[in-house]
Amino acid sequence: MNLQFSIQPNEKLALRNPESTELGRKIVREGLLLMMELGYEHFTFKKLAEITQTTEASIYRYFENKHRLLLYFLTWYWNLLEFAVLTSIQNIADPTQKIGKVIDILTSPLPDVGEAAGMSKSALQSVAIAESSKVYLVKEVDDINRERLFKPYKDLCARIAALFTELNPAYPYPRSLASTLVEMSQFQPYFKEHLPALTDFAEPKDGKRIADYLNHLVFSSLK
């Protein structure tokens, strides 16, 4: 029953596998919290070195730069999400139910299964919501893509797209709908918190939930 979930890290992600040493684990554990606290732009390796009682140079031995560190966090996040999706639907036969479950997972705190190299699951989710776009909205996107570093994100979307096709094989846009779903499961909570005019989820609980919106969106399309 203990489903072992080990990501085979693309070795281009990190210069040295941070999971293999105490310092490496400290860097990613504390680095994640610091990036959540400061935001990607204000986060620096120097500040992280102070917190982890190490030096900038030591951090650079693990990660080429902070963009790679962000990518490392997101790789974990995407892998954990895909894992959560897979395990949660494994005993469900009905595709409608499976998709509902996926939306549930996308809009809930990450389930506490699997290890994440000591990193906080909720911090991973916060960083994913606020920073994930920055990992591919860069000039270097094609180079990074060539290194296969977006594979975990693509795999997650492909997995979800396959469920859409299972429910409705004639639906013509399963992959776009999957990327829309994943992106919006991050943007809508962000908008809800910071730019509520862009959503319908005003704080005084009016019963509307993001999950309901996404369910409506997806199932309307697949109908």
Question: Which positions lie near a copy of itself, rule CB under 8 A?
Answer: 38-39, 41-42, 130-131, 133-134, 136-139, 141-142, 145, 150, 153-154, 157-158, 172-180, 183-184, 187-188, 190-191, 194-195, 197-201, 208, 210, 212-213, 216-217, 220-221, 223
Q: Are 222 and 164 in contact (CB under 8 A)?
A: yes
Q: Is 46 in the site for DNA (CB under 7 A)?
A: yes
Quick one: 22 or 142, whose CB is closer to DNA? 22
- Supply the DSSP symbol for 19: G
Q: Kindly determine how many residues on this chain lie close enough to bind DNA according to the rule CB under 7 A.
A: 23
DSSP string, 86-140: HHHHTT---HHHHHHHHHHHHTSPPPS-S--TT--HHHHHHHHHHHTHHHHSSTT
Candidate residues 9, 10, 33, 47; the one interacting with DNA per rule CB under 7 A: 47
* 155 CB-near residues (< 8 Å, 6+ apart): 78, 82
- Residue 90: which of a copy of itself, DNA, none does it interact with, CB under 5 to 8 A by kind? none
Quick one: 18 or 34, whose CB is closer to a copy of itself? 34
Shortest reach from residue 101's CB to a copy of itself, in Å: 21
Q: Are 124 and 75 in contact (CB under 8 A)?
A: no
Q: Is 134 in the site for DNA (CB under 7 A)?
A: no
Determine the Cα–Cα distance for residues 201 and 17; give it in Å rounded to an integer.
Answer: 41
- The two tokens of residue 218 are 């997806």
Quick one: 64 or 212, whose CB is closer to a copy of itself? 212
Quick one: 147 or 212, whose CB is closer to a copy of itself? 212
Shortest reach from residue 55's CB to DNA, in Å: 4
Determine the Cα–Cα distance for residues 58 and 50; give it in Å rounded to an integer.
Answer: 12
- The two tokens of residue 44 are 């620096």
Q: How far is CA 163 from CA 87, 94, 158, in A?
A: 14, 10, 9
Shortest reach from residue 111's CB to a copy of itself, in Å: 24
Residues that bind DNA (CB under 7 A): 16, 21-24, 42, 44-47, 53-58, 60-62, 64-67
